[in-house]
Structure 1
Amino acid sequence: MSRFTLTRWIPGACALGLGVALAASLTLDRPAHADGSEFTAAQRAQIVSIVRDALKSDPSILADAITSLRAQQEGNAQTKALAYVRANQLAVQSADAQYIRGNPAGRVTVVEYLDPRCPYCRRMEPIVNDLLARDHDVRFVQKLIPILGQDSVLETQAIMAAARQGGAEHLRAALMTDTQHPTIERVHELARAQGLDTARLDADMKSPDVVKTIETNMAQAQGIGLDGTPTFVFGTAGIAPGALSRDDMEAEIAHART
């Protein structure tokens, strides 16, 4: 999964939180104040010694605690993200027809936030194609977010501009399977192969509508706390980052249907 700097795991901060939690767990008679003011200097030294000795004798304590804290953090992030999706369901699930695949009237809407240059997004293409060929009750929305630099911006703008000529899906597929370095000349070559007017494409790439769509998609990505591509939103029931297997996709869709 390509990293995106909206959220980030910070080991140092978690280790600090762990020390406070372990110290608190070792006070048996009464809870401590957050600032430690209930402890004498001798008591604090004793707590530090006990914690240090425990970690030396069983280092798995630290690993287990970090795993638990990470799971709790991820659970909280998922809850917050789903709350955003439910509050903004219409906006999250809406898109120009050019970015909707599968059945436009499908009962379950799956939204994919992707970068056309992301190798993991590219890896998902055949899996998504297979899924939509098997399940005809899925409305699949693709939202482009250029998070990997200027090459991503170039391809995203080109795909969105191609939508004005009815060629967004074909140009997206061509770009995401292309192995050459993206340049405007290469974009033109692929666009011409799809029967697109490259002069019009150039004019539309920097149009206010294209800029606004990119900004909207990025704002939604920030709203769900997206930290990588691809990220999938399954109805209002689940959010899954990273390249998924077909079985994982089908399981998430089944859950969204319930």
Structure 2
Amino acid sequence: MAIRTRTGLLTALLLGISTAMPLPAAALDDSQKQEFGAFIREYLLANPEIIEEMSQALEIKKEAESQVMAQAAISENTDAIFNDPNDMVLGNPDGDVTVVEFFDYNCGFCKRALSDMTSLLEKDSNVRFVLKEFPILGPDSLAAHRVAMSLRKLAPEKYSDFHIQLMSGDARATEAHAIEIAKGLGVDEAALIAGMEDPAIGDSIRQTYELANALGISGTPSFVIGNEAVFGAVGEEALLARISNMRECESTQC
């Protein structure tokens, strides 16, 4: 088998590109299969950058597929994503661009992203920032979010301070820790605990899980801006760029 022919076959196998004369595996005898397998191994060892290129191409393809799925979900669930009355809105409630964050109080990356949110809202007074309670990191997270959602109904004006305090620092967010923060802000403990049993809280959390699943969100933080789902703590500048693009061309990518 000529080297040029084998290289063409290898390219076709690795990158999924059709060749002018495809050779099905059944057309190879055992010795040819062994020879071809040895050639593939030798070629990849000599050119390991091909594996990296393939990995990058796969990631690009998966990202594109994820965005197609997310865009369809955003179109089908616009009100539930951007205008759910059970969500807390920070910043300007009448802002011209909305940023939605799915977060968990025990997510380390969410803690890092907190400063992105606060800085963004300080710099841009026309951003509407929606917080989606998305407890996915175990029972402590679920309990802490139930405290937060009870507080939002009892004293929405205190939610921002509560959110920042609970998200800041290294302490694990638990029910007890969340209640202590709420008490420190002057919220009645008995009313807070009673509010945690409201069935609407569980319904809201289930709806958020369903939305996240439709959007392809499996981790926190994740954001929705316009018709784009943004996965991970991408940083303040990346969020600001998308906000600027929304104003310029009504899309996160102009």
TM-score if structure 2 supplies the norm length? 0.83
Q: Do residues 93 (structure 1) and 120 (structure 2) align?
A: no
In the TM superposition, what are the counterparts of 1:137-156 in structure 2 within 5 Å?
A: 137-156=126-145
Please identify the structure whose Cα radius of gyration is greater.
2
Q: Do residues 233 (structure 1) and 224 (structure 2) align?
A: yes
Residues 20-71 of structure 1, C-alpha deviation per residue, up to 9 Å, x if partnerless?
Answer: 8328648541375xxx45x333554454343223212211112211221122
Work out the CA distance in 2 between the residues paired with 1:98 and 1:145.
Answer: 11
- How many aligned positions are there? 236
Partner of 2:116: 127
- Aligned-residue sequence identity (percent) comes to 29
Which residue, 40, 44, 65 being the options, matches 1:51? 40
In the TM superposition, what are the counterparts of 1:172-251 in structure 2 within 5 Å?
A: 172-236=163-227, 238-251=228-241
Structure 1 window deviating more from structure 2 (169-178 vs 149-158): it is 169-178
Contact persistence 1:231–1:240 (CA under 8 A): yes
Residues 142-177 of structure 1, C-alpha deviation per residue, up to 9 Å, x if partnerless?
Answer: 101111111111110000011111243332222112
Q: Secondary structure at the match of 2:118?
A: helix
How far residue 211 of structure 1 moved from its aligned partner, in angstroms, is 0.3
How far residue 239 of structure 1 moved from its aligned partner, in angstroms, is 2.1
Partner of 2:6: none
Work out the CA distance in 2 between the residues paired with 1:57 and 1:231.
Answer: 39
In the TM superposition, what are the counterparts of 1:161-176 in structure 2 within 5 Å?
A: 161-167=150-156, 168-176=159-167
Assess, with a 3 A threshold, how the Cα gap between structure 1 residues 127 and 230 changes in structure 2: closer, same or farther.
Answer: same
Contact persistence 1:151–1:182 (CA under 8 A): yes
Q: Do residues 21 (structure 1) and 13 (structure 2) align?
A: yes
How far residue 120 of structure 1 moved from its aligned partner, in angstroms, is 1.6
Work out the CA distance in 2 between the residues paired with 1:233 and 1:98.
Answer: 14
Residues 85-138 of structure 1, C-alpha deviation per residue, up to 9 Å, x if partnerless?
Answer: 122111111233760011111121110000012122122222211211221221
- Structure 2 stretches of 5 or more lacking a match? 1-9, 250-254
Work out the CA distance in 1 between the residues paired with 2:217 and 2:21.
Answer: 43
How far residue 230 of structure 1 moved from its aligned partner, in angstroms, is 0.6
Contact persistence 2:109–2:221 (CA under 8 A): yes
Assess, with a 3 A threshold, how the Cα gap between structure 1 residues 93 and 201 changes in structure 2: closer, same or farther.
Answer: same
Assess, with a 3 A threshold, how the Cα gap between structure 1 residues 40 and 227 changes in structure 2: closer, same or farther.
Answer: same
Work out the CA distance in 2 between the residues paired with 1:76 and 1:103.
Answer: 33
Work out the CA distance in 2 between the residues paired with 1:50 and 1:70.
Answer: 26
Amino acid at match of 1:134: K
Work out the CA distance in 2 between the residues paired with 1:212 and 1:242.
Answer: 25
Amino acid at match of 1:41: D
Structure 1 window deviating more from structure 2 (172-181 vs 138-147): it is 172-181
- Structure 1 stretches of 5 or more lacking a match? 1-17
Q: Secondary structure at the match of 1:112?
A: strand
How far residue 252 of structure 1 moved from its aligned partner, in angstroms, is 1.4
In the TM superposition, what are the counterparts of 1:37-48 in structure 2 within 5 Å?
A: 37=26, 39-41=27-29, 44-48=33-37
Partner of 2:71: 82
Amino acid at match of 1:213: S
